[in-house]
Amino acid sequence: MRCFEELRIWQESRLIVKEIYQLTTCLKDYGFRDQLQRATISIINNIAEGSESGTDKMFVRYLNISQGSCSEVKSMLYVCEDLKYCDSQVAYDLRMKVRNISAGIQKLLDYLKQSIISSQKLQK
C-alpha cells in the first residue's frame, strides 16, 4: 500500500484544488465553474484512489485518468482566460502548475510501467 499523502503530485494537486475553488467562488457561470472544479478534483482523487488500488497496473490506469484531467483543466483555463473569468497571468500560472503536476504524473507512470515490465520478466 502506498501513502498518497506523501506523493508530491498529490500535495501539489491539493494546492491547485484550493486555488481553483478560490478563483471560481464568485463565478456566476455555474456550469463552467462546476466542470472546472470537478476536473481539478479528478486529478487529486484519481492519484489517491490509484495509489491504494492494490496493483501497479491499476495505479497506472488511475494515473492516466488523472493526467487526462490535467489536460482538461489546462484547456478550461484557456477558456477561463478567453471569457475574461480570470486574469491572463493567473490562468497562465495555474496552467504551469498543472503542467508540472502532469509531468510528475508522467514520471511516476514511467517508473510504474518499468516496474511492471521488470516484474513480468522475473515471472517468466
Provide the domain count of the chain: 1
Any idea what the CATH number is for the domain that residue 38 is in? 1.20.1440.60
72-115 pLDDT, tens digit each = 999 999 999 999 999 999 999 999 999 999 999 999 999 999 98
pTM: 0.93
Range of the domain at 24: 4-123
20-32 pLDDT, tens digit each = 999 999 999 999 9
Instruction: Encode the chain in three state secondary structure.
Output: CCCHHHCHHHHHHHHHHHHHHHHHCCCCCHHHHHHHHHHHHHHHHHHHHHHCCCCHHHHHHHHHHHHHHHHHHHHHHHHHHHCCCCCHHHHHHHHHHHHHHHHHHHHHHHHHHHHHHHHHHHHC
